[in-house]
Amino acid sequence: LDSLLQEIPSVLSRSGGVISLPERGDLLCRKMSEDVKAQAGRPSGPTIFSKILDGSIPTTFNHEDDKCVEFKDVAPQAPVHFLVIPRKPIAMLEEAEEEDAGVLGHMMLVVKKVAKEQGLEKGYRVVINNGVDGAQSVYHLHIHVMGGRQMTWPPG
């Protein structure tokens, strides 16, 4: 959050004192919102992803099978940004067990399949946020896949 707040003066300076860059403002607000959620730690109760899986939050799956589902991120950070989540409720990568190896490997193959279908032949980034310092805001394991533009390094 501190690094984002430090960025505000330069944005104001470049914009004549007005932040009127919607994509920049949206990214800044989302980043702060996700960071704040992540810093709050693990909430109790069902996650948004468990509600998507049980149908109480309607979502269009571009891929679904007995192990995982894939759908578009509601706040994309790249021209192509989708999520792959396991049907099994694994809160975070840190809590995955040896018996989860099959579903974890399967999810990576789904990433590859959907990325190809989405035209990401030039490459894409795969991200798993884990825990508070990893900026995990939803405690249901999920893989972010982002592409369709040149990614920068280092991330975050």
36: burial class by Cβ within 10 Å (0-12, 13-18, 19+)?
exposed
Positions annotated as catalytic residues are 142
How distant, in Å, are the alpha carbons of 9, 33, 37, 77, 101 from that of 1?
A: 14, 10, 12, 18, 35
Residue pair 95/111 in contact by the 8 Å Cβ criterion: no
Distance CA 11, CA 24 (A): 9
